[in-house]
Structure 1
Amino acid sequence: MQNQKILFSGVFLLAIIVLTPLGFSASLGDDWSSIKSSLSSGEKADTLVVSLSHVNDAHLIYTNNFKLAAYEVDSESDILIEAAFDDIIKNHTSEDSGMVSLNRQVIDKTIYKIAYMKMELAVEKNSADDFITWYSVLDKKFKVSEKDYESNNWIAEIESTQSTLSSNGPAILEELLEIFKLKTIEELEEAIAALEEGDVKSAKKFTYEGLYYYRTLHPAVEEKLGTETANELLHEMEEAIEVTMSGNISSEMKFKIEHIASEVELIIREYEGGDTSEIGLALSGIKDRLNLVEGEYFDAVSDGQIIDQGEYDETVIFLSKAKSIFDSVKPSLMELSESDTVSLETHFIEMDLIVSSIDKPNKISILVGKSLNNIASFENFIGGATEIDIFQYFDEIDRLLNDAKTSYRNGDSQLAFDLVSEAYLDNYEFVEGPLGEVDPELMTKIETDMREDLRNMIKNGESFDSVDAQIDMILMDLDTAQKIVPEFGTIAMMVLAVAIISIVAITSKSKFSIIQRF
């Protein structure tokens, strides 16, 4: 039986190869676009027969041009796509147009991952032709060739001198990953904005898009932060879908998605290796949203006219959010650089005027560039090399966890959760290395107890006594750790000029209440 299965798989793949055209009359980007348009036509068709005909057309294009590639680089993607095609047929049959649209997102975005992984493989095999062929999918989607991306120059060099693939290929892949990172953040923010308007249908679409954009980024996060953290981010994105599908009122959904978005952004910042302090997170958040403003506005406006209302609305959302983040940390930014703060605020005013008057996209690009220069200046001001004794981190963790205990008993679950997050991200991570060298098991235990178990207990609303007991156990383990960590003296690190640890942002964040179970 096993031999029969192997034989069948071999024949099946051979059939795909035979069916696949040896030369493409159109690019793979065009093939991806044809799948998308066929599925969209199926949604708009008047009869079930016509709808299913369009779905079959899309499936044939997938089978002929992408299925073998999926088998080669990521069989899970093929499983997801085939399941989505099956579900779309069922959805059409049951007249569930909402799920038809959502399953189309699964197919659409999963093909991006296949294309990206084929590009990675092309770099490994030093195949410039394959790299360019699969790049066409992501170029078609993100309109890279129409925008001011470095990838355009790098691709041109590969086309003229194929040996440059070894240096240019990884750089292009990195720039594309940045797009997927931004999209992961973007879709959650759009879901929040949709729920603000009571538009649950759009919120569902955005959370689906966010999850399947993230799937392309997931391997990179896993490589850098480990499987556990990457899966935590994946779970957050999946949970966002569950929230929008829950049937709760939109205000409750919005509240939960906001919390998920903050968790996702925190892990993204950790993935970037950036500063996760209050100001560091704020500057990264402003930077990402300004990049989104530039991209969305480019697609939204042409010749003084709005050509895509959806992209224009998203421009307004991201610009507003960037300004909101700026306002929340403006006093701290003034302490770092008054001139850069005033300059950045002026740029926000000018960008708002440009967007309101539907002025030229290049004006936004110029102001975004100037704003990013201001942000770079702030990042330079954020601190110098400061010598900090390692035991200061133990003291800070102790304080934060005890404050979390008090906050939780006072009913402020959000503050308790954020204090625990700060204890881990801004403090324990600097202890992990030295502790891991002398007692790796204890290091892992404290990490799991604090980052995973304790935060989940707070999130799930467990009893005060249970949370207290968990914190007390962690504090006892930290006391043990402090006694065995070698006295390295000091650790050099970059810190804020204004403070080692700041909880100003945490205490000003929106708070939520969780029903306690006793």
Structure 2
Amino acid sequence: MIKTITSIVIGLTLITILTSQFALADSAYDEKLTFAGSLEETLGHFWAIEKNLDDNNAELALVHATHPIAELYSSMKPELKEANPEFDAKVEKTLMDLGKKTGSDVTRQDAQKAIDDAKEIIKEARLLVVGQELSEDTTFKAKLIQELLKTSIAEYEEGVNNGEISMMAEFQDGSAFVWRSQQIFDEIKSDLPEHEVEEAEEFYSDLWDAYDKRSDAEHVETFADGIIHEIGEAVGEEHEETELLTYVENIEEFLNQVKVKYAEGDKDTATSLATKAYLDNFEYLESPLKEAGHKELVEEMETMMRIELRDMIKNDAPVSEVEQKVDDILVKMDSIAQIVPEFGSIAVMILAIAIISIVIVSTKSRLSIMPKI
């Protein structure tokens, strides 16, 4: 009895220790992710400085030159100071001096040298605090992409109103963070599944097009979320479970709205709705459909929804053709609505087989330890 209690106590102690270690590891990871995110935003601002200097806009270049020291450095300082106080002081001075070293009284060549020197400092800071292994980790980089895009959504929403740029610095911040996210994406895409890479690249194209058009913030968010979703899929992120029939209903609702908006001449909203129908809904049906033996149907639907319908909208196809394409997709969705309930039966069958297997194994185990007569 005492041995049993001792074993239980030891087991609980080990669980507590392991849980604490995992929690600490998660905390350290999150801290490094936040630190690295600030570095990436800083690099985005450097890009914005370069763009504005090329456009002879010294005023906006100065805004972006001062953003890192004014908005980002304070969040990085604790880690930098703990790792190396002298280097922390070097980072602070570099960012502090960047404004005057890229100002209107400095040649473009000298300004570029100051920016390049600052980039090297950022690279050193990453290695010092984050470390080379984590800095090169595909999943870590994927999370940086996602965070940059989330921030870009907020910046764009502040910067654009009613199709016009109302706050240029914020608009450029959004652009810079999208740009930086795409730079990281290009670094890791060879390590990601081809399908998700292809879709993410399409959404990047849509996102830049939305920026060029000064589209509604909602449309920009849809395309940025599309990239975030595809990146998450590519690195195996889990998502909240939803009843599969709910996805079917959402798709039907979005597609019917596509017809209305396109007929009204609102091409941007129609594109956004078509994207949501596919991205936020059909993609979650793909795996269950394939597992149920409907791979060809999935591929057909993907072509119709992700490529054909969206291309028709972008290329100003006649309203009647877009409506016909939507109707064709809806007919397919009716078939899928009939298939979806089967998933529950399949899951029950799999569970039943698993239970039977466990019972058989358990029975055999008991028989094997019974004394022979």
- With normalisation by structure 2, the TM-score equals 0.49
* Higher-Rg member (1/2): 2
Higher fraction of helix: 2
TM-score scaled by structure 1? 0.37
